[in-house]
Amino acid sequence: MTADSATGPTTYEDLLAAVSVPADPTGTTAREVRDPATGEVIGHAPVQTVDDLERDIAAARTAQPAWAARPDSERCDLLLKAADAVEAAAEPLAALLSREQGKPLNGPNARFEVGACQAWTRTAATTVLEPEVLVDDGETYATLSYKPIGVVGAIGPWNWPMMISVWQLAPSLRMGNTVVLKPSANTTLSVLALVHVLNQVLPEGVLTVIAGDRQVGRLIPTHPGIDKIMFTGSTATGKKIAEGAASTVKRLTLELGGNDAGIVLEDAFGTDTSDPEVVAANDKVAADIFWGAFINTGQTCAALKRLYVPDAIYDVVCESLTRVAGQMPMGVGLEEQNVLGPLQNRNQFDIVDDLVKKAVDSGARVLCGADPDYDAPGFFYPTTLIADIDPDNPLVTEEQFGPALPIIRYSTLDEALHEANRLNVGLGSSVWSSDRATAREVAERVEAGTVWINAHGAVDPRVPFGGIKASGYGLEFGVEGLKHVALPHVING
């Protein structure tokens, strides 16, 4: 289908019909998909095989030379039209995402994610990457440009299935690669729907999606027909992918687990809580901290997962965060008032529940939450704030990936920095202060790929993003992101 004929699905029912397959009681060709908020069956995702993967890789390899041969301006124009197609289908895409992943339509959730798909696609298409003259001294003339790698194997997570797929596929396509995309088994329909919309515009074979099982997932890193792997997920899985990719020396971009620290400085909150203006200002900062931690109900690699607060304002921060948390409704995603939803799957619910129980059993103080309804139909875990917790408690040292935030007290800035840096993760972090210059000085001492000032997780399609330590390697977004899905090509002479 050409861009001119692409109208996009107009309803949720149209979109679901395009990607759901007939039920299969044996589970061989189809897998039941349930809404994590209600337990209701919403459709059936295909279960594809290694033979399907071979077909998709062959199609990608066949399509790649012609795609790479198109002028850069033509590829960019098609990506812009693809973004327009996503915009035209935004509401049904958001509804399907909400029902499969669980995230509410509103807040920084489903509609936000579909909007991010448009923004990242458009930015990938409009970011300028010109050949660079390295040396021109009259004797040597050296230039650096970037060529396509070939076929990119993109393996995505279940927490931001559409958005992170776009983070992988849009720059890869821009640079002349073709893409074989494997979504998480937990959120297959959402990614199938996104690709269905994009492929109304893109040429055949340029972007394919394989809804495979674990066997398919294990084969992608070792397959000789894949030239680069982009993976977002756990550190444990990332290590296995790196091992598999080594056999064919594939290029890798790994965005792995994080346990992001936030450091609050003493000047970030006012202490005169008898003054309504001070309380309002405190609550504004607390709301920003809250969403840094609880975006997507805490199911975000670069969410704030441990908050370090100085003695002088500890009680004020705890009170303000508790007040803000009480104003955030949690419930079924399609109900417009809700901004927090369920955890996407039972396994993640159990992880969060276990970590919070360990914190409570250790004597930590519960400010709110920590009392889930185990008989509820969905995987809802209440918004939970835990104070007066030991820095070595598992809720602090392990990634909870859910709606529970430990608030750790500190006495000196050096102590806070030591605690923030001592774990073997380094995806994102944040510093909170009314003095930006001071905050930047502290940020220089934080070990993380990105340190935000007075925000957390505020990724920007123009600004490179990637982790250090066990949080992965490689960069995404902006000019550097384009370079990481291409091969450097130096001509010297």
Query: Active-site positions?
Result: 255, 301
Neighbours of 272 (CB within 10 A): 10
Q: What is the DSSP letter of 48?
A: B
Cβ–Cβ under 8 Å, residues 439 and 265: yes
Cβ–Cβ under 8 Å, residues 53 and 33: no
Cβ–Cβ under 8 Å, residues 155 and 169: no
The encoded tokens of residue 443 equal 């940020």
Cβ–Cβ under 8 Å, residues 309 and 349: no
Rounded distance, CA 251 to CA 245, Å?
Answer: 8
Rounded distance, CA 473 to CA 488, Å?
Answer: 18
CB-based burial of residue 414 (10 Å sphere; 0-12 exposed, 13-18 middle, 19+ buried)? Answer: exposed
CA nearest to 322, candidates 269, 270, 383: 383
Rounded distance, CA 380 to CA 399, Å?
Answer: 18
The encoded tokens of residue 27 equal 């589970």
Residue listed under structure tokens 């919070």: 356
Beta-bridged to residue 146, according to DSSP, are 488
| Pairing between β-strand 260-264 and β-strand 251-255 as defined by DSSP bridges | unpaired
Cα 454 to Cα 123, 258, 314, 417, 458, distances in angstroms: 24, 19, 17, 17, 10
Identity of the residue numbered 258: G
CB-based burial of residue 293 (10 Å sphere; 0-12 exposed, 13-18 middle, 19+ buried)? Answer: buried
> CA 238 from chain center: how many Å?
15
Strand residues in 210-310 grouped as ranges (E): 228-232, 251-255, 260-264, 304-310
